[in-house]
Homo-oligomer: A and B are copies of this chain.
Amino acid sequence: MKRLKIKEVLTNGKTETQTLVKGWVRTKRGSKNVNFIALNDGSTIHNLQVVADVAKFDEQLLHEINTGASLAVEGTLSKSQGSGQNVELLAEKIELLGKADPDKYPIQPKKHTLEFLRENAHLRFRTNTFGAVFRIRHAMAFAIHKYFNKKGFYYLHTPIITASDAEGAGQMFRVSTLDAVNPPLTEEGKPDFSKDFFGRPTNLTVSGQLEGELGALALGEIYTFGPTFRAENSNTTRHLAEFWMIEPEMAFYDLKDNMDLAEEFLKYLISYALEYCSDDLYFLADRLKQEEKGKPQDQRSMDLVEKLQFVLNSSFVRLTYTEAIDILKNSKPFKKNKFQFPVDWGIDLQSEHERYLVEKHFKCPVILTDYPRDIKAFYMKQNDDGKTVRAMDVLFPQIGEIIGGSQREESLEKLETRMKEMNVPAEEMWWYLDTRRFGSVVHSGFGLGFERFILFVTGMGNIRDVIAFPRTPKNAEF
């Protein structure tokens, strides 16, 4: 007999037919005569209710059906007598596939803290919350590929191990096979990287952008979707040492085209989530409400689904950095000295400033453009004012910056001058400069931090809860 997934049983299952399901026990409750077993197989957030007539089954078997145990259950699918589900499975055969000792199994049917579940990340997929989060994460990854594929972008795998530092300022992880205790040394007593695996010092990439540009300036429109790394000692709810980034890069796009793409892209993803993940989203929306019950009304989050619909239906406001600084300087919190960080033309905006613009002033997503060149990377297209570059940051409620991008400098001369000013080693980047030397064109791109976006979509508060096995300072478990 062919096993059916529980999602299929709950949506298309025919009552009065013989049905086989397999899954893990979420809860068991019951009376003297009948046991109700909630079974889940990961295909949906909903459980299938298995009804077991106590008289029909071995006592020991029923005794061992505990939370976490795995079962195969065959029986007749029936219209449910109880509320909360349409159908239930009247068990005829129950096979206990794997036990879960209730004295030892960590994931018991009670409220666990997110911290506790993080320490049990190998089992947390078996909870409603993390099932929902990782199904949504999957759906968003798929939607990203679907969106770009449909638009004719090519997925490019840029290298993970790299000898270059794309941002010119990253804190990077060294990759090496040299002996850790006694590496071969040069005459100056430094490790002799010419003897290392790649014959030179190598690191984990901080961005695939520079290589992405090489692809775009031949294939037209490309995107990357891969892991990136920061060896930054930040123990916050927003930082990971290993995270996934999406970086589209497009020939013949100027900054306006870039902004249009970013807005359309984000809205596509959100509409995809609303269409394909509604069960999981409603569960998480509810979860968030429960979490925030104790908070005063004005500190509670917007309803998760409403928030997504709101962003979907907003036109993102576009203004320059300079205009944003003016707004901030005229704001109440600035005048009342409520901002923690200073506001001055030339500074990097802090999360508090970004969120003020988005949440208080415009009350919708915002795209800031034309940032001071001194706080941005060398490759951004220089404006004629000699002070600003054609950068853009997309700012979201709750998250702040969710996308950073720019039009790229296509002039070889300007790029070389800027690299010299910023001490970016041009010799090592001969291949990057070749794109400006031969058939250079206007082009643009941006980066979306996947986990920050998943935080936004799921309403989760800690970035460690939206990646399967987070890598953070002092933590590489699993």
Contacts and interface: CB of A to CB of B under 8 A. Distances in A.
A476 interface: yes
A461 interface: no
Q: How many copies does the complex hold?
A: 2
A477 interface: yes
Contacts of A197: 173, 231, 233, 241, 473-474
Interface string A163-202: 1100000010111111011010000011100000111111
Given A215-B468, A218-B24, A138 B154 contact: yes
A323 interface: no
Interface stretch (A84-92, A330-338, A360-368, A432-440): A432-440
Contact of A97 (B158, B220, B440): B440
A22 interface: yes
A104 B436 CA distance: 13
Nearest to A478: B431
Interface in A46-74: 68-70
Contacts of A251: 22, 41-42
A236 interface: no
Contact of A227 (B137, B226, B471): B226
Interface string A133-164: 01101100110011001001011111111111
A170 to B, nearest CB: 12
A229 B25 CA distance: 37
Contact of A181 (B99, B171, B189): B189
A440 B98 contact: yes
Interface in A114-143: 121-123, 125-126, 131, 134-135, 137-138, 141-142
Given A154-B134, A163-B477, A173-B176, A24 B439 contact: yes
Nearest to A96: B439
A7 to B, nearest CB: 7
A393 interface: no
A218 B131 contact: yes
Given A161-B242, A181-B191, A199-B474, A123 B154 contact: no
Contacts of A439: 24-25, 68-70, 97-100, 105, 126
B198 A475 contact: yes
A204 interface: yes
Contact of A471 (B42, B159, B180): B159
B214 A160 contact: no
A173 B177 contact: yes
Nearest to A100: B438
A178 B335 CA distance: 46
A474 to B, nearest CB: 4
B70 A3 contact: no
A438 B67 CA distance: 9
A458 to B, nearest CB: 14
B478 A159 contact: yes
Top 10 A-B residue pairs of the complex, sorted by shortest distance between their CB atoms:
A98-B440, A125-B218, A42-B219, A42-B220, A198-B476, A122-B431, A138-B154, A199-B474, A70-B439, A100-B438
9 contacts: A97-B439, A99-B439, A123-B218, A123-B434, A138-B149, A157-B227, A174-B176, A174-B180, A176-B180
Interface of A: 3, 5, 7, 22, 24-25, 41-43, 68-70, 97-101, 104-105, 121-123, 125-126, 131, 134-135, 137-138, 141-142, 145-146, 149, 152, 154-164, 171, 173-178, 180-181, 183, 189-191, 197-202, 204, 211, 214-215, 218-221, 226-227, 229, 231, 233, 241-242, 244, 251-252, 410, 431-432, 434-442, 467-469, 471, 473-478
Given A42-B218, A123-B434, A157-B467, 7 more contacts: A22-B251, A22-B441, A141-B155, A163-B476, A198-B473, A227-B227, A431-B477
